């Protein structure tokens, strides 16, 4: 893991020939920020938690954080419908 680094990985699932793009980003957070992030996520305050991450990363990584936040929201939404 590196401080505020990102990379893109292209992956092919050869069992079904489908591909995907994995977006990796490492954001260094101080221990207090990490604890705040955990508390916000546990409280269901996902937008606030991701805003904290955005504040701690370079501007050119904000799009990756936004994409992850949207994907996370979709997962939460689909799980709540299934419950």
Query: What are 2-17's pLDDT values in tens digits?
Result: 455 556 777 888 888 8
Residues 6+ apart with CB under 8 A from 3: 26, 28
Q: How many domains does the chain have?
A: 1
The whole domain housing 48 covers 5-82
pLDDT tens digits along 6-60: 567 778 888 888 887 777 778 888 999 999 999 999 999 999 999 999 998 888 8
Nearest one of 48, 28, 31 to 40, comparing CA atoms: 48
Q: CB–CB of 3/28 below 8 Å?
A: yes
The pLDDT of residue 68 is above 50 = yes
């Amino acid at each position: 893991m590196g401080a505020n680094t990102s990379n893109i990985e292209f992956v092919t699932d050869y069992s079904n020939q489908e591909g995907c793009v994995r977006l990796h980003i490492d954001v260094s957070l101080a221990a207090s920020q990490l604890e705040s992030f955990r508390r916000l996520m546990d409280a269901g305050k996902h937008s606030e938690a991701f805003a904290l991450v955005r504040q701690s990363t370079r501007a050119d990584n904000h799009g990756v954080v936004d994409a992850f936040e949207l994907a996370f929201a979709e997962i939460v939404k689909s799980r709540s419908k299934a419950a």
